Amino acid sequence: FVCYMFGLSSRFWCLFFFFIGNHEVSTSLEDTCLPTRNSTGCASSASSLSNYLYVFILGQLFLGTGGTPLYTLGTAFIDDSVPTHKSSLYIGIGYSMSVLGPAIGYVLGGQLLTVYIDAAMGRSAGINEDDPRWLGAWWIGFLLAWLFAWSLIIPFSCFPKYLPGTAEIQAGKISQAHQGKSSFIQKADENFGKSFKDLPAALKNLMRNTVFMCLVLSTTSEALITTGFATFLPKFIENQFGLSSSFAATLGGAVLIPGAALGQILGGVLVSKFKLACKNTMKFSLCASVVALMLSFIFVYAKCENEPFAGVSESYNGTGELGNLTAPCNANCNCLRSYYYPLCGKDGVQYFSPCFAGCTNLVSARRPKVYYNCSCIERKMEIASAPESLGFEATAGKCETRCANLPIFLGVFFATIAFTFMAGTPITVSILRCVNNKQRSLALGIQFMFLRLLGTIPGPIIFGMTIDSTCVLWDINECGVKGACWIYDNIRMAHMLVVITVTCKATTIFFNGLAIFLYKPPPSSIDVSFQHQQSVVTTISVECDGN
């Protein structure tokens, strides 16, 4: 079922490419100062491709339907098939693979984006990757995922319902379920949970399990910040340290992916090595979260002031007004504010685009591009290599930042991620231990429902709104519609992220500590698997009768 739904989702995504037809490259972009520029005016007509948004939504729906059982039924299946003290190790390995998988996908997907979108059809656009009009072959990845997922259906169908030795392993396990006043367990009814009629009673039992709910809220708070950083960490690195978006994304992935994988595996290994019981496992998670909280203050240390930016934090040689990109030196250039192409002048000031810098000439053969005759750049030095008819030099790209905290930030943030995810596997193991054995899959399902509704879904939204609140320069198109943010206030962004991180991690620690306080372990003689034990006892009695 999982493989089929994954393949079906990928099929919906890649088929979109075959429905939209050929891609037409728009006319060439003029990024220099031009006294006369062709303007399309305000065109607000909606594209016919917008209807395909619903195709993507449907594909994502199938993807979520197929992916959820991996973290609910799959985790319970692993826990069933291995001894208690090894369960955390295998669950940690499984969760680390769910982190490494997207990393491999990012790498392979990035390589596919270097191929033109219609190259597989034998068509070429005549442009390279540096051109803003370049479109990569994003659809090939979904095509491969579709074929690969459906090729796994038959191998997975050959797996038995229980692995060999599962009955013996279950017979030797001891229940660690939380023994609260509301924790009624239908031990006498072997068929409990096999009918939909039992769902309300099972849900009521889990919702009244205070330890379980505290652990769920703990993971929910942690998921909010992890998904937020997974989405916006590259943007933070890009703006704080003046890097390109691609290099910032590479650094973000190089920190997030290994750190998360290492944390997942270490958490599982340590719990397995020391054979921690349920309460001690929760204490281990609490300690890891406390360390991650203390390391989170790295954002205060990593903050970097914005570099001088013409029209935003720096005037155009004493002319113009702050907050207005237009000045006397570029008033006749007809520049587009919706076309952001940063330029670093020899005066050490960054400009919104070559047009806003007043540049009229360029050397496109060099990488990065070099611009000359820039009327807005202060005349501090002459360029010996430039022809006498040309003015002063500027290079495409952002100015190099004077902030030297990047290596320290990446190192400390790597440790923060590792300790954050180090608490993830033990929390999952604690959830499996503090509920009735027959309700583990349902418990994980409820956990992921809360995790999505209160964590991973609002997380990027909250982070996005917070980061947008620090914007100092927005994209305004010809119709006056506000688009993306071009420039952020770095200091305020760092402080806002610290507030969110500390608040969420403090919430995680609170609910984790509350779960430890409320947890009441059962007597050590209560076995987990009543059904499996009964089958073993029956087998022994038959052998005795035969003798």
Cβ 216 vs Cβ 431: under 8 Å: yes
Q: What is the mean pLDDT of the chain?
A: 79
Cβ 368 vs Cβ 385: under 8 Å: no
Q: How far apart are CA 249 and CA 232, in angstroms?
A: 9
Model pLDDT, residue 192: 64
Cβ 397 vs Cβ 245: under 8 Å: no
- Residue range 183-199, pLDDT digits in tens: 444 444 556 656 777 78
Structure tokens at 333: 């250039």
Structure tokens at 427: 């929390």
Q: How far apart are CA 134 and CA 259, in angstroms?
A: 33
Q: In sequence order, what are the residues at sequence separation of 6 or more whose Cβ sits closer than 8 angstroms to the Cβ of residue 244? A: 238, 397, 398
Domain extents in the chain: 174-302+405-470+490-526, 308-400
Per-residue pLDDT of the chain (547 residues; tens, 9 = 90+): 888 888 888 888 877 777 766 666 655 556 788 876 655 556 554 556 677 778 788 888 888 888 778 877 788 888 888 887 788 888 888 888 877 777 777 667 767 877 877 766 555 556 666 565 677 778 888 888 889 989 988 888 888 877 787 777 776 666 677 766 544 444 445 566 567 777 888 898 899 999 999 999 999 999 999 889 888 888 898 888 877 776 887 788 888 888 888 998 999 899 888 888 889 999 999 999 999 999 998 887 777 888 888 888 888 877 878 878 888 888 888 887 777 888 888 888 889 888 888 888 887 667 778 888 888 887 654 444 444 444 557 888 888 877 778 888 999 999 999 999 999 889 998 998 888 888 888 898 899 899 989 998 999 999 999 999 999 888 877 777 777 888 899 899 999 999 999 999 999 999 999 999 999 887 654 444 434 444 443 333 344 444 3
- CATH fold for the domain made of 174-302+405-470+490-526: Growth Hormone; Chain: A; (1.20.1250)
Q: Which residue has the tokens 């608490």?
A: 423
Q: How far apart are CA 324 and CA 186, in angstroms?
A: 70
Q: Which residue has the tokens 């937020």?
A: 228
* Residue 499 backbone dihedrals phi, psi, to 5 degrees: -60, -45
Taking each helix axis as running N to C, give the angle between helix 278-295 and helix 406-422, from 0 to 180 degrees, rounded to the nearest 10: 160
Q: In sequence order, what are the residues at sequence separation of 6 or more whose Cβ sits closer than 8 angstroms to the Cβ of residue 24? A: none
